[in-house]
Chain A
Amino acid sequence: EDQVTQSPEALRLQEGESSSLNCSYTVSGLRGLFWYRQDPGKGPEFLFTLYSAGEEKEKERLKATLTKKESFLHITAPKPEDSATYLCAVQFNSGYSTLTFGKGTMLLVSP
Chain B
Amino acid sequence: NAGVMQNPRHLVRRRGQEARLRCSPMKGHSHVYWYRQLPEEGLKFMVYLQKENIIDESGMPKERFSAEFPKEGPSILRIQQVVRGDSAAYFCASSPPASDYTFGSGTRLTVV
Contact = CB atoms under 8 A, between A and B. Distances in A.
Task: Say whether A associates with B.
Answer: yes
Interface of A: 4, 34, 36, 41-46, 49, 87, 89, 95-104
B102 A97 contact: no
Interface in B25-58: 31, 33, 35, 40-45, 48, 55-56
B105 A42 contact: yes
Interface stretch (B65-73, B76-84, B93-101): B93-101
7 contacts: A36-B103, A43-B93, A44-B91, A49-B100, A97-B33, A100-B45, A101-B44
Interface of B: 4, 31, 33, 35, 40-45, 48, 55-56, 59, 91, 93, 95, 98, 100-106
Contact of B45 (A42, A43, A87, A99): A99
Task: Report, nearest first, the 5 A-B pairs whose CB atoms are least far apart.
Answer: A43-B103, A101-B42, A103-B42, A101-B43, A98-B45
Contact of B56 (A45, A98, A100): A98
A97 B43 contact: no
Contacts of A44: 43, 91, 103
Question: Which applies to chain A's interface (DSSP): helix, strand, loop or mixed?
Answer: loop
Contacts, number: 54
A48 to B, nearest CB: 10
A102 B41 CA distance: 8
B90 to A, nearest CB: 10
Given A44-B91, A101-B44, A104-B42, A96 B103 contact: no
B48 A103 contact: no
B109 to A, nearest CB: 14
A100 B43 CA distance: 8
B45 A102 contact: no
